[in-house]
Amino acid sequence: MAKSIKEKFEALIPKLREERVKLVKGHGDKKISECTVAQAIGGMRGVKAMVCDTSVVEPDKGLIIRGVPIMKLTKKLPEEIFWMLLIGKPPTKDELAGFQKELKAHGEVPNYVWRILKAMPKTSHPMAMLDTAILAMENESVFRKRYAEGMSKMDYWEPALEDAMRVMGTIHTIAAGVYRIKYKKADLINPSKKLDWAADFAKMLGLAPKKGETYDMMRLYLTLHCDHEGGNVSANTCHTVGSALSDPFYAVSAGLNGLAGPLHGLANQECLNWVLETMDKFGGAPTEEQIEEYAWETLNSGKVIPGYGHAVLRVTDPRFTAFLEFGRKHLKDKPVFQTVSRVYDVVPKVLKKHGKAKNPWPNVDAGSGSILYNYGLKEFEYYTVLFSVSRSMGMLTQLVLNRALGTPITRPKSVSTEWLKKQVGMK
Ligand code: HAX
């Protein structure tokens, strides 16, 4: 019989622990990074001071999941990606089937969650609704209960994985419910017993299936946003909160609050807005000259061009390329997609001329919105919720790994401006 994700992970733990002990005992005093004054003030960019094994972001290659570039994983289901993030390799067909069944068994959303969501102000942002729902579900945490009963450190990973399965099993249903409650789309749609995670999500949102193309779009969307190594705001926040042994519901909800920021996940809401603004201003899909004019107008008014630039990447984000390829196949006649494609031809040149952004190329958010828009998701405010459903995979798997490895509480040392001034001899 195929092994469960828990059995597979349990079998890996001794080797991972041994490796970590060897690294710390044998090489603990070796330097891997330095920190300059500019880095301490500037968001610690480039300082290597945390470990994340689920994925790596190479400045010149983009996202690599467990050694495999994301462009080679675009045909995988998100469930396979979750498995891969935690276990290191994709599941076999039987393992995948067992895992999907297990996820469905973890899929019940308690009624109190729906009551809370329905009681929230009509003006609440859908991200605030999602984060509140995940936090409310903390009531279900097995980790917290087991900790209170006095579990051994060696066992932390097990209830952490159980909670992770509960978040993963319910987050798509909750997110779909947020959409239908917030945008008055009539009743909630129940999860299906048969559909895979992404297809089920698309169905619960109420999107028209379009011969399965909508399901493929959602599978691609949820695969591409799954993880982006450990230092980004949401992963880093989830990691820090989890390091205090706050359970996965607390930690993921906190991470998602970070994803809700306009420089992080909210950028995908801003991106399509920017594209539609250009279309509004010029009365349809704008020409390259018109896009250039609008890009300069944005920059000259002190704003950023959403969807362009990245803290780590220095090339076109392969996730953007994957969306572009999907759009070229299915949406090439749609004006919104045509505009996104044209923006890509113009904005990098403008940003290079502007001379500030270290990376003038598009990130994932520059393309995703136009795809969602064309499949009927026209409420931009909701886009970060879709991102969140996917990114919960990275946050959860990183957290489970950290509980298995006994990663200690995060506590970098801060210094005062006075200390900095003394250190560099500044009066
Ligand atoms: N438009 C205009 N200016 C930009 C820019 C853009 N798209 N990207 C960077 N810059 C500017 C920065 O604002 C900064 O200006 P100041 O020196 O005046 O502060 C300068 O260029 C240097 O910034 P950087 O080092 O290149 O970029 P950072 O690492 O500081 O920031 C950001 C990376 C992604 C936050 C940034 O590129 C940005 O604001 N982009 C637009 C928003 C966006 O697309 N965010 C989504 C990122 C992907 C993500 O996390 N998704 O969740």
| CATH label of the domain that carries residue 283 | 1.10.230.10
279 and 208 within one domain: no
| Same structural domain, 394 and 353 | no
3-state helix, strand, coil in the chain (%, to 5): 60, 5, 35
Identify whether residues 93 and 191 lie together within a single domain: yes
Q: Is residue 175 part of a domain?
A: yes
**Average pLDDT of the chain?**
96
Cα distance between residue 274 and residue 306, in whole Å: 7
At residue 383, the pLDDT reads: 95
Ligand 1 atom nearest to CA at 303: 2
pLDDT tens per residue, range 121-167: 999 999 999 999 999 999 999 999 999 999 999 999 999 999 999 99
pLDDT(399) > 90: yes
130 with 237, same domain?
yes
pLDDT band at 266 (very low <50, low <70, confident <90, very high): confident
Residue 253 resides in a domain:
yes
For ligand 1, the distance from its centroid to the CA atom of residue 47, given in whole angstroms, is: 18
Instruction: For ligand 1, say whether the CB of 264 is within 6 Å of any of its atoms.
Output: yes
Specify whether 339 is located in the same domain as 214: no
Measured in Å, residue 147 CA sits from the centre of ligand 1 at 41
Does the annotation count 310 as an active-site position?
A: yes
What is the per-residue pLDDT for 304? Answer: 95
Distances (CA, A) of 413 to 49, 76, 207, 244, 347: 12, 41, 48, 16, 39
Task: Round to the nearest angstrom and report the end-to-end CA distance of the chain.
Answer: 70
Split into its structural domains, the chain has a count of 2
Decide if 365 is catalytic. yes
7 occurs within a structural domain: no
| Dihedral over alpha carbons 379, 391, 126, 134 (to 10 degrees) | 150
Ligand 1 center to residue 231 CA distance, Å? 16
Catalytic residue check, 264: yes
Positive or negative: CA dihedral 230, 27, 17, 19:
positive
Clarify whether residues 303 and 401 are in a common domain: no
Q: Which one of 228, 356, 383, 395 would you pick to mutate in the ligand 1 pocket, going by the greatest count of ligand atoms within 8 A of its CB?
A: 356
* CATH assignment of the domain containing 204: 1.10.580.10
Lowest mean pLDDT among 62-71, 187-196, 264-273, 320-329: 264-273
- Which atom of ligand 1 lies nearest, measured to the CA of 311? 29
Does a structural domain hold residue 113?
yes
Query: Which residue's CA lies nearest to atom 47 of ligand 1?
Result: 264
With a 6 Å cutoff on the Cβ, whether 304 touches ligand 1 is yes
Q: Residue 85: which of 73, 98, 71, 97 has the closest Cα? A: 73
Asked if the structure places residue 416 within a domain, the reply is no
Counting from 1 in the atom list of ligand 1, the atom nearest the Cα of 358 is 26
Find the length of the chain: 427
Q: What are phi and psi of 347, to 5 degrees?
A: -60, -40
Q: What is the pLDDT of residue 427?
A: 86
pLDDT of amino acid 263: 87
334 and 369 housed in the same domain = yes
**Is pLDDT of 270 > 90?**
no
Q: Which domain holds residue 370?
A: 267-374
Residue 420: pLDDT over 90:
yes
Q: Please report whether residue 237 resides in a domain.
A: yes
The verdict on 280 and 398 lying in the same domain is: no
Q: How remote is the CA of residue 411 from the centroid of ligand 1, in Å?
A: 27
For residues 351-369, one letter each, b for 16 or more C-beta atoms within 10 angstroms of the residue's C-beta and e for the rest, the string is beeeeebebbbbbbbbbbb
Q: Is the CB of 363 under 6 A from ligand 1?
A: yes
- Phi-psi map region of 10: left, alpha, beta (phi>0 left; psi -120 to 50 alpha): alpha
| pLDDT of 26 above 90 | yes
- Residue 330 scores a pLDDT above 90: yes
Same domain, 342 and 321: yes
Within a domain: 9: no
Band of pLDDT at residue 278, cut at 50, 70 and 90: very high
| 359 close to ligand 1 (CB < 6 Angstrom) | yes
> Is the C-beta atom of 365 inside 6 A of ligand 1?
yes
CA distance 421 to 40: 13
pLDDT tens digits along 44-95: 999 999 999 999 999 999 999 999 999 999 999 999 999 999 999 999 999 9
Q: Which amino acid is at 376?
A: G
- Alpha-carbon gap, residue 305 to 299, rounded angstroms: 7
Q: Which residues contact 93 (CB under 8 A, 6 or more apart)?
A: none
Nearest CA residue ID for atom 31, ligand 1: 311
Residue 307 near residue 267 (C-beta atoms within 8 A): yes
222 and 319 belong to one structural domain: no
Residue 259 included in any domain: yes
- Within this chain, do residues 299 and 331 fall inside the same structural domain, yes or no? yes
Is residue 306 lining ligand 1, measured as CB closer than 6 Å?
A: yes
Rounded CA separation 382/175 (Å): 9
**289-324 confidence digits (pLDDT tens):** 999 999 999 999 999 999 999 988 999 999 999 999
Which residues is 58 bridged to in the sheet?
Answer: 62
Angle at 268 between CA 363 and CA 48, to 5 degrees: 50
349: closest CA among 367, 363, 365, 362? 362
Q: How far, in Å, CA of 391 to CA of 396, rounded?
A: 9
- Among 231, 215, 217, 184, which Cα is nearest to 51's? 231
Please pick, among 310, 317, 330, 345, the residue that the annotation labels catalytic.
310
> Is there an atom of ligand 1 within 6 Å of 311 CB?
yes
Mark whether 214 and 111 lie in a shared domain: yes
